[in-house]
Amino acid sequence: MSFKVYIPTYKRAGKMLTHKVFPEAIIVCPESQVDDYREYYPDMEFMPCPDSVEGNTARKRNWIKDNADTDYLIMVDDDIKCFYYADNRKQYELSGEHLREVIENGFIMAEDLGTVLWGINLQTDLKFYMEYSPFSLTSVVLGPFTGHIKRGNNLRYDERLPLKEDYDYSLQVLWKYRKLLRFNKYSYEAGHINNEDGGCVSIRTWERELEQNILLQKKWGKKIVKFDMERSINPIVTAPLKGI
């Protein structure tokens, strides 16, 4: 199976990490920043996007989906330090051909299950991986790593939710296909929490996060989306399989 890896990035030239894991990936940056990025990553492939696309993560993800020349695409954040897999209550680095094999199998299994989205565990801490539950079908997958099957998939990221677009997209997939695929055995380590600039940091504030959580909850209802901003800026979502 042939797939392509796309790295959406903004004002992060010289600060990316993911290219070390995926040297074959395609960098998706604004046209006005291509020269800056090429200076640091001269051997990588670029897919410049219009500057007008920037400023909204959901809009950029939609643009990548529309312009990707493959039916099997990975979108991965630019600050992924490492991938891991859990085995016998221990954790190991996942890289190279092993990582690519996992990705191929992810697409095959998602397609066999009849869904268009798959991903991996959101946490590297082993307590979030239960050996009797190597994968799940109703848990969200988030923006740092998502596998998309483009063929026949007309779902769109909601551009009203540039900070919660990944939660919403997972819910859309669950609502339409009744399932998505998440491998709990695998996980990623990202540096986005500590990033000082670029990417979503450019628009993220506590007030904006609150506004986005409220909007997400209004869209899906309080039984599906819950949040407590004193504990976390991220919501807790429940699969909408019993209706809204």
109 vs 12: CA distance, rounded Å: 33
Question: Is the pTM above the cut of 0.75?
Answer: yes
**Cα–Cα distance for residue pair 117/111, rounded to 1 Å:** 9
Dihedral, CA atoms, 127, 133, 137, 141, nearest 10 degrees? 30
How does the average pLDDT of the chain come out, rounded?
A: 92
Q: Sign of the CA dihedral 203, 204, 206, 207?
A: positive
pLDDT digits (tens, 9 = 90+) for 125-169: 887 787 778 899 999 999 999 999 999 999 999 999 999 999 999
**pLDDT per residue as tens digits for the range 32-61:** 999 999 999 999 999 999 999 999 999 999
User: What pLDDT shows up at residue 244?
Assistant: 44
Q: What end-to-end distance do the CA atoms of the chain give, in Å? A: 37
Q: How many CB atoms lie within 10 A of CB 69?
A: 9
What is the C-alpha separation between 21 and 76, in angstroms, rounded? 11
Structure tokens at 201: 């940091």
Residue-wise pLDDT tens digits, 164-214 = 999 999 999 999 999 999 999 999 999 754 445 544 555 678 999 999 999
User: Residue 173: left (phi > 0), alpha (psi -120 to 50), or beta?
Assistant: alpha
